[in-house]
Every structure is written in structure tokens, then in C-alpha cells.
Amino acid sequence: MTVNPKKLRPYDQPPKRRRKLIPDGPDSSATGFFVAAALWLAVATGLGALAIGMRLITLEFSFPLLFGFSFEFDARRVEYAFVNATVYGWLTNAGFAAVAFMTPRLLGRRMAMEPLLMLGLLAWNMSLAGGIAALYVFDLGPNAPLSALPWLIDGGLATGALIVTAAFLVTAVAGLRTGYVSLWFAAVALLSMAGLTGLNALIGLLEWVINLAELPVALASLFVERAMVTMWLLGIAYAVLHYVVPRATGQPLASAGIGMLSFLTWLMLAPIAGLATLVDPSIPFAITSLGNVANMLLLVPAALTVVNLVQTMPGRWSLLFGSGSVAFAAVSIAFLLAVSLLDALGSLRTVQELVARTDWERGAFLWAAYGTFTFAAFAMAEHALPRILRRAWGGGFLSSAQLWLAFGGVTLAGLALMGGGMAEGSLRAGGAAPDATSAVLLVYRGIAFVGFGLVALAALAFVLNMFLMYTSAEPAEYIVPGASPATAPAAGH
């Protein structure tokens, strides 16, 4: 017998579920961070295509705003907005989501302070949105991109990072000693991120109060820029890959010992890799050389991780040819090795002289950010979102499009920019006139623009895939930490 709902009396209707103003259910913060990350990815790739396009065509304009401020649009500001949206928007939100997803499952306890984490999500993303808008208004000073946000904004970011770090430590500190290697990577990476954003805010405040000289500010900002990559992004990528590969292949990690050796070598080298950026006569030559050597030696944890994770996959090679977590993780691992080799090469002083201040640096950044780190984040999203939302991915086509467009696009864009950088360095060394060099660079930059356009399409495929999953995908059941086992069948973890 069917029931006409219109004929139900009020007391026959099931009680409405009350939604809290600040969600605090299991995985609610992970969901929030993943959604924020996906939106930032769309913004970042759009800005990236614009930034590369502005290497092809010069476009500058400004118009007045209220209170004597003006909106300034130029290549440097677009470039800075792109880097900030990529690192702080897409990759950092994805990193926070990964932490909020992995930690409860590895430790068997819910993420502590879940409502506070939602406030951290708000603080982080509101600050970042304001900061990126501010890049087009305020003077960027002598800062590198990741330190160019106003100090108040950096304070907001530091607050968000501190909240996430505190929630992680409260959840994990008791189990960290015997914890899985991903937790160790995540712990150091989170502490570094909180420390570096705090340092950015402190330097900005000092600059505002006592008007620091340009040189120390520029040196500090370059150090923070490199440390943010080696400590935070690389650390969280290692954490994610060590988590996703065993989970998605359903096999144990090949060697816990090698995992810990990777962690220890990374922990030793990553903090001093930033010293390589302090290239100034006021800094002893040996200090920058030490930084260069640390960058070269970062090849060790990368190589150990690659071998360890590849040895985790035997018997599951067919997963590499699909478009699931393992395929995304495999691309991330390949880029991890390639970028580590490039960083090692780029740390040689002869190579630095050739490619300094060319497109090479931006090409290497693209491979790291949109190769290694983005594919690690895609792998985590591919694995985690069905378990968080308890829905299966809807579009196989969209996942394939996301994988191949992003892979092809970032490979092409990175190669073109690095090739352009080498060509520029060689032409200069060969005595070519600047006009002739610019004409050659146009070809490389045109190819890079097309390549990054493909990455932007991949980002749209990811956002659309997530949207379809949320709205119309088939339900799927997985274990959720903190949920009653009766309502959560063990169909995977």
C-alpha cells in the first residue's frame, strides 16, 4: 500500500533532522577542506593560465578604488595570486583534508575539536580570499609570492594553521610514538606550516612597525617560499602517498623501516634546503652551499619512498591502468622522482648561473605543484571522498579526463617552460640579442599556455565529478570512524 504524504498528519511525519550551524559530525572538517580545495583548484588553474598568457602578451592596467587605493593589474600580481591560490588554496586545503581524513582511521579515534576545525577552515579560507584580493591593491614590496600577503592576512592564515595543527596533535599525540609513518610526516609538516605562516606574519608586522630594510625581508621571504615547499607540501605529499598506496592496493606497506628512513632523511634535509635561496654576498658562501647540498640530497627520501611504494604494489599492477587512486598516486610518485632529480640538478651552481631568472624556475614549480603534489591530492580525494560521502564516484569518463588532461597538460607546460628557460640561458650565453631571445621564448610560452589550459580543464572535470558525486551518485557504504558499526558495514576503509 502506498501512502500519500499529503494526507499524513504532522505527528505521523518523521522528525526533521536538525542541522547544526557548525557541523561536528565525523569527517565534517575533511569534507569542508576537500570542497574548499576543489574550488581553489578551479580558481588557481584559471589564474595560472592567465599568468602564463601574460608572459605572451603584456597587459597592465589600473583603476582607482575608494580611500585613495587603486586596483593594479600586472604580470607580477597575477603570478603571485596564482602561486598563493595554488599553494595556500588548493594544496593546503587538500593537505588539511588529508590530515582530517587519515588521522582518525590510523589511530582509531575521532578527530578532536571538530567544530573548532571548521572555524579553522573558515579562518584559513576567508583570510586567503582577502589576501589574494589584497595582492591587487597593496604594494608587494621585496617579497616572494608566498610572503607577499599583508601581515594581518598572514595572521589569519597562521591562526587557521594553528587550529588544524592543535586538533591533529590533541588527536594524535598519544598514539604518535607507535603511529604509522604518515602521521610522523603529517605532524612535522603541520608544525612547519604553522611556524612558517606565523613567521610570515611576524616579519610583516615588524616591517610595518619598524620599517625593515629590503634585503633581510627579501631573504626571509625567499627562505619561507622554499621551506613551504620542502617542509609542508613535500611532507604532506609523503604522508598521503604512504597512506593511499597501501590502502588503495589493499596490501601492507613493503617496509616500515624504509618508510621511517625516508622520514628521518627528509626531516634532516628539508629544514635546511631553504638556505639555498639566500644568495647574497652578506650570506657566507658555505651556508648557501649547504642549502644546495640539502636540495640535492632530498633525492634520497624521494628514491626510498618510490622504491618502497612500488614494492607495495605487486599483484595490483592492473590498478595502474584505471583512473582510481593508485593511478593518480603512481603519477605523483613519478613526478616526485623527476622533480627531485630536477631540484638536484638545479642546485648545481653552474646550472643556477644558466637558468637563474628564466622560465625554468616556473616550469620546475609547475611540475612540483601540479605534478607531485596535485596528483597526491587527487589520489587522496579519489580514495577519501567515497568513504566520507558514502557515495561512489559517478563519472568514469570524468575521472579519466581528470587524470589524462592533468598529466598531459602539466607535463607539456612544465617541459615547455623549462625548455624555454634553458633556451633563454643558452641564447644569452651565446650572445644573442634580447629581441631574438624574446621571439624564441614566445614559442615555448605558447606551448606552456596550451598545456596549462589542459590542466585547467582537468580541474573543471574534478569539480564537476565531485558535484555529480554529491548530487546524484549511487550510495556506497564504508566504515566511518566514530559511527556505529551497525550503520556502517565494512566495505572498505
Segment 160-219, which members bind another protein (CB under 8 A)? 180, 182, 214-215, 218-219
Instruction: Cell 593589474: give the residue.
Output: 73
- CB of 388 or CB of 398, closer to another protein: 388
Are 149 and 134 in contact, with CB atoms under 8 Å apart? yes
Q: For another protein, which is the closer residue by CB, 39 or 307? A: 307
Nearer to another protein, 41 or 269 (CB): 269
Helix axes 325-346, 299-310, angle to 10 degrees: 160
466 half-sphere exposure, CB direction, 13 A CA radius: 23
Type and span of the H or E element at 181: helix 181-210
Interaction of residue 475 with another protein, rule CB under 8 A? no
Residue 68: how many CB atoms within 10 A of its CB?
6
The gap from C-alpha 367 to its chain's centroid, in whole angstroms, comes to 12
Beta carbon of residue 109, minimum distance to another protein (angstroms, whole number): 5
Minimum distance between the CB of residue 175 and another protein, rounded to whole angstroms? 10
**Nearer to another protein by C-beta: 289 or 400?**
289
Smaller CB separation from another protein, 392 or 436: 436
Among positions 321-350, residues that touch another protein (CB under 8 A) are: 349
* CA nearest to 409, candidates 465, 364, 380, 367: 367
Cell match 580514495: residue? 383
Shorter beta-carbon distance to another protein: residue 38 or 187: 187
Specify the residue, 126 or 260, whose C-beta has the smaller distance to another protein.
Answer: 260
- Among the listed ranges 361-369, 394-402, 430-438, 452-460, the one in contact with another protein (CB under 8 A) is 430-438
Q: Does 356 bind another protein (CB under 8 A)?
A: yes
E strand or H helix at 345: helix 325-346
Q: Does 482 bind another protein (CB under 8 A)?
A: yes
Q: Exactly one of 87, 140, 313, 461 binds another protein (CB under 8 A); which one?
A: 140
Asked if 485 is part of the footprint of another protein (rule: CB under 8 A), the reply reads: yes
d(C-alpha 227, C-alpha 146), whole Å: 11
**Is the CB of 188 or the CB of 276 nearer to another protein?**
276
Beta bridge partner(s), residue 63 = 71
Task: Give CA–CA dist 145/142, Å, rounded.
Answer: 10
Least distance in angstroms from the C-beta of 21 to another protein: 25
- Report if residue 81 touches another protein, rule: CB under 8 A: no
DSSP assignment string, 326-342: HHHHHHHHHHHHHHHHH
Cell of 397: 569518463
Q: Cα 211 vs. chain centroid, distance in angstroms?
A: 32
Give the DSSP H or E segment for 64. strand 61-64
Give the dihedral sign, CA 101/107/109/113: negative
What are phi and psi for residue 72, nearest 5 degrees? Answer: -115, 125
Of the candidate residues 288, 325, 340, 411, the single one contacting another protein (CB under 8 A):
288
**Residue 390 falls in which region: left (phi positive, over 0), alpha (psi -120 to 50) or beta:** left
Q: Which stretch binds another protein (CB under 8 A): 151-159, 165-173, 459-467, 473-481?
A: 473-481
Residue 73 belongs to what H/E stretch?
A: strand 70-73
8 binds another protein (CB under 8 A): no
The alpha carbons of the chain give a radius of gyration, in whole angstroms, of 23
Q: How far is the CB of 236 from another protein (least distance, A)?
A: 17
Measured in degrees and rounded to the nearest 5, phi and psi for residue 210 equal -115, 10
Site for another protein in 95-124 (CB under 8 A): 104-110
Binding segment for another protein among 14-22, 232-240, 361-369, 480-488 (CB under 8 A)? 480-488
What is the closest distance, in whole angstroms, from the C-beta atom of residue 70 to another protein in the complex? 17
Q: Does 158 bind another protein (CB under 8 A)?
A: no
- Taking CB under 8 A as the binding criterion, the range among 49-57, 153-161, 297-305, 397-405 that sits at the site for another protein is 297-305
What is the nearest approach in angstroms of another protein to the Cβ of residue 485?
Answer: 6
State the minimum distance, in angstroms, from the CB of residue 215 to another protein.
7
Length, in residues, of the chain: 493
398 binds another protein (CB under 8 A): no
Residues in region 408-427 near another protein by CB under 8 A? 425
Under the binding rule (CB under 8 A), the answer on residue 281 touching another protein is yes
> Quick one: DSSP state of residue 316?
-
Smaller CB distance to another protein: residue 196 or 269? 269
**Residues in contact with 380: Cβ distance below 8 Å, sequence separation at least 6, in sequence order:** 94, 97, 98, 101, 240, 243, 244, 325
Site for another protein in 216-275 (CB under 8 A): 218-219, 221-222, 243, 246-247, 252-261, 265
Q: Which of 119, 303, 306, 440 binds another protein (CB under 8 A)?
A: 303
Residue 8 Cβ vs another protein, minimum distance, rounded to whole Å: 35
Residues 22-51 close enough to bind another protein by CB under 8 A: none
Considering beta carbons, is residue 41 or 344 the nearer one to another protein? 344
Is-contact 328 384, C-beta < 8 A? no
* C-alpha 351: how far from chain center: 27
Least distance (Å) from another protein to the CB of residue 216?
10
Closer of 14 and 252 to another protein (Cβ):
252
Nearest Cα neighbor of 366 from 49, 3, 12 is 49
